[in-house]
Chain A
Amino acid sequence: MDAVGDVQRVLLLGGTSEIGLAVVRRLAGERKVAVVLAGRPTPRLDETAQELRGEGHAVEVVGFDGTDRASWAPAVESSFSGGDVDVAVVAFGALGDAERDWQDAAAAADLVTVNTTAPVALGVDVAARFRRQGHGAFVVLSSVAGERPRRSNFAYGATKAGLDAFFTGLREALRPEGIRVLVVRPGFVRTKMTEGLSAAPLAVDAAAVAEAAVTGLRGGRETVWVPGAMRYVMSILRHVPSAIFRRLPI
């Protein structure tokens, strides 16, 4: 990352994530940059790569699957083989099925693997690479759902709580190494992940998340909520007694 916050090479873990791609485009601004798209090897991933190439960026595609532990370390290895990475955006994740995921042990375990175990493990390897290169920054897509578990989607919330806690702590471990960790906590974002769900209050689109994340990163922020007001909503909700919280229509 240069003096004005422009990037040369970005790694997107979750290469087809709408939020992740919006962050990457926002980081690039009007420049042509190098992008590593890491994700499940699907036609959609290839199409996304083509699209970015069409916009003038240099794109590499790296395959991994959040459920396949053996694919994680090699993905990080090849993501860095083409040069230093300025920013790693950790954006992959699944919403799951809220009712299934607290009753079906295998489904619950899978959700934790994709949303917590995999990003943590990949994060550890990326952090090691960042330390070796002496610079780097994480942008991590957490969620307000992790701040206080709700009856309606606590399995997902729990996975994000774990992810959030890990990267918030990793930030401190990496601080002396000059490596930064920005944790992004969006509320409801209209993307393919939430397609078909009725939008919650304060819903935003991916571009708004990207703008908050990139402005926050350049301004040296460490945690951002999107929209900004979510921060205050959540700080109140965190302290509402459970007897009342239970009855809230959220």
Chain B
Amino acid sequence: MSTTSNAPRTALSGWGRTAPSVATLVPAGTDEDVRRAVLGAGDRGVLARGLARSYGDSAQNGGGTVLDMTAAARVLSIDTTTGLVSAEAGVSLDTLVRVLLPLGLFVPVLPGTRQVTLGGAIAADIHGKNHHVKGSFGNHVVSLDLMTADGQVRTLTPEGAPRLFWATVGGMGLTGVVLRATVRAVPVETAYFSVDTERATDLDDLMARLQADDDQYTYSVAWIDLVAKGSSTGRAVLTRGWSARRDQLPKKLVDKPYHFAPRSLFTAPDVFPSGLLNRATITAFNEAYYRRAPKEQRGAIQSIGQFFHPLDIAKDWNRVYGRRGFLQYQFVVPFGQEDAMRRAVARLSQAGTASFLAVLKRFGPGNEGFLSFPTPGWTLALDIPVGAGLGKLLDELDELVVEAGGRLYLAKDSRATAATLHQMYPRVDEWRAVRDEVDPQRVFTSDQAKRLDL
């Protein structure tokens, strides 16, 4: 048995609160804690877990050991001239944003929530609104310390150890435990964004607008309405912008250009019945969101919270989906497969899978990550409450995505099959070869890895 058998066994789930499993949860405050757990792992293996913002079973390891990486969350050094920041893997991007801003720096990639760890950002090779021009998180990692199955700490750089580095970036914790990393932050003049907003009447209008001038913007994303019926299906609000320059700030902000004080306004209580978010509430939400957006507005100054994380003001908002939980479906299809996107949107909208926020984005070039999600093309992400018939619908969409040469995002996946996933990631066998070299016994494993035969 593992040396950690007297640590508490805890039911763990992802952000969608579906399919929990019970594991031994061990706080990983030091390298030694990690090493002890890795070397003492039983046959159910070990896995690192960050802030559990992945939606499905990526950060679960039923019957095995799960390392709570948030126990090591220190910022280790910041070089303000080069922008290089070193930190422990459990630090959140929220903390990094707070620490970096006063120094005139910003995290290179920020996802739809700041509540993710550095380790989770690397393991999922997360993308943000700037993917089309800046790539994903791994592109900005200069080096990382990985504890492998033998208990050794290896310092990996993309130049020095490209295979293991790129197997770890996007590798979902299955090559080892990221202990620390150094990333290159980007200089900013302010904590604000200059934002252009426009409405698109339907999906084709939206894609045309994105194709026309997306690359002029550093940040770009479109909220898209999959609930509206008929010709309004796919109508969208496009918000794109740049980090604001100081001379763009209104007078009242000029004195504190790096001011950043987000607040959580309320915590969603844990009592929402399943089905509270029904088609009616969501249709109303979508309608209001679309109507509220200006038809066209240029150069509005928005805070980080307004621009990146409109949902973060409600802490634990995932609870409003009720007991059966929810999932997020996110896929990408390559450029040239616009028709697949059209069909997917039509299918989702017909099926009445009410969704709060469906988001469409244009990805730029991918990176060397073997299992990294972003590839050039169109990505759509939407939350869907779990209900009858959902599995079948998504299996059909998976087929459509496979045929179009697209793929699902592992950090969001909670229900795909091994067969589909292997078709979607042509480099999965190369990735496995690298993993098998450093972890032949598969000490590192997760519920997702078992489900998808990774």
Contacts and interface: CB of A to CB of B under 8 A. Distances in A.
B414 A134 contact: no
Interface stretch (A3-11, A46-54, A110-118): A3-11
Contacts of A3: 16, 18-19, 56-57, 325, 327, 386, 414-415
Nearest to A179: B22
A29 interface: yes
Contacts of A1: 19
Contacts of A220: 323-324
A5 B451 contact: no
B263 interface: no
9 contacts: A1-B19, A2-B18, A2-B19, A4-B18, A5-B386, A8-B450, A83-B450, A134-B64, A177-B9
B451 A133 contact: no
A132 interface: yes
Q: Which 8 A-B pairs have the closest CB atoms?
A: A134-B62, A134-B63, A3-B18, A3-B414, A4-B391, A135-B21, A134-B22, A2-B415
B261 to A, nearest CB: 35
A4 B415 contact: yes
A4 to B, nearest CB: 4
Given A30-B392, A134-B23, A4 B62 contact: no
B390 interface: yes
B44 interface: yes
Nearest to A4: B391
A32 B395 CA distance: 12
A5 B388 CA distance: 9
Given A8-B451, A177-B22, A220-B324, A31 B417 contact: yes
Interface string B274-292: 0000000000000000000
B313 interface: no
B386 A4 contact: yes
Contacts of B20: 135, 178
B21 A178 contact: yes
A58 to B, nearest CB: 11
Contacts of A83: 450
A132 B327 CA distance: 27
Given A3-B56, A4-B386, A220-B324, A135 B415 contact: no
B323 A178 contact: no
Contacts, number: 79
Contacts of A169: none
Interface string B322-346: 0111010000000000000000000
Nearest to A2: B415
A2 B21 contact: no
A241 interface: no
Interface in A129-150: 131-135
Contacts of A8: 450-451
B16 to A, nearest CB: 6
Q: In terms of DSSP, what is the predominant structure of the interface of chain A?
A: loop
Nearest to B417: A31
A132 B391 contact: no
A152 to B, nearest CB: 38
A3 B394 CA distance: 12
Contact of A2 (B22, B323, B392, B451): B451
B442 to A, nearest CB: 13
Nearest to B20: A178
B395 A31 contact: yes
A84 interface: yes
Given A3-B327, A220-B323, A133 B62 contact: yes
B304 interface: no
A249 interface: no
Q: In terms of DSSP, what is the predominant structure of the interface of chain B?
A: loop
A219 interface: yes
Contacts of B394: 4
A149 B327 CA distance: 45
Interface in B394-408: 394-395
Interface in A210-242: 215, 218-220
Interface in B1-54: 9, 11, 16, 18-23, 44
B44 A134 contact: yes
Interface string B304-330: 000000000000000000011101000
Contacts of A30: 392, 395
Q: Counting chain B CB atoms within 10 Å of each CB, which of A4, A30, A219, A220 scores highest?
A: A4
Given A3-B19, A132-B44, A134-B63, A178 B11 contact: yes
A135 B451 contact: no
B22 A6 contact: no
A219 B273 CA distance: 13
B386 A178 contact: no
Interface in A150-176: none
Interface string B149-181: 000000000000000000000000000000000
Given A3-B56, A3-B386, A178 B22 contact: yes
B62 to A, nearest CB: 3
B9 A5 contact: no
A218 B391 CA distance: 12
Q: Counting chain B CB atoms within 10 Å of each CB, which of A5, A29, A177 scores highest?
A: A5
Interface in A81-131: 83-84, 131
Contacts of B9: 134, 177
Nearest to B17: A3
A32 B419 CA distance: 10
Contacts of A135: 19-22, 62-63, 447
Contacts of A84: 62, 450
Contacts of B447: 135
Contacts of B21: 133-135, 178
Interface string A1-45: 111111010000000000000000000011110000000000000
Contact of A219 (B23, B62, B324, B415): B324
Q: Counting chain A CB atoms within 10 Å of each CB, which of B11, B16, B21, B57 scores highest?
A: B21
Contacts of B23: 134
A8 B394 CA distance: 16
Q: Counting chain A CB atoms within 10 Å of each CB, which of B16, B18, B19 scores highest?
A: B19
B271 to A, nearest CB: 16
Contacts of B56: 2-3
B324 A2 contact: no
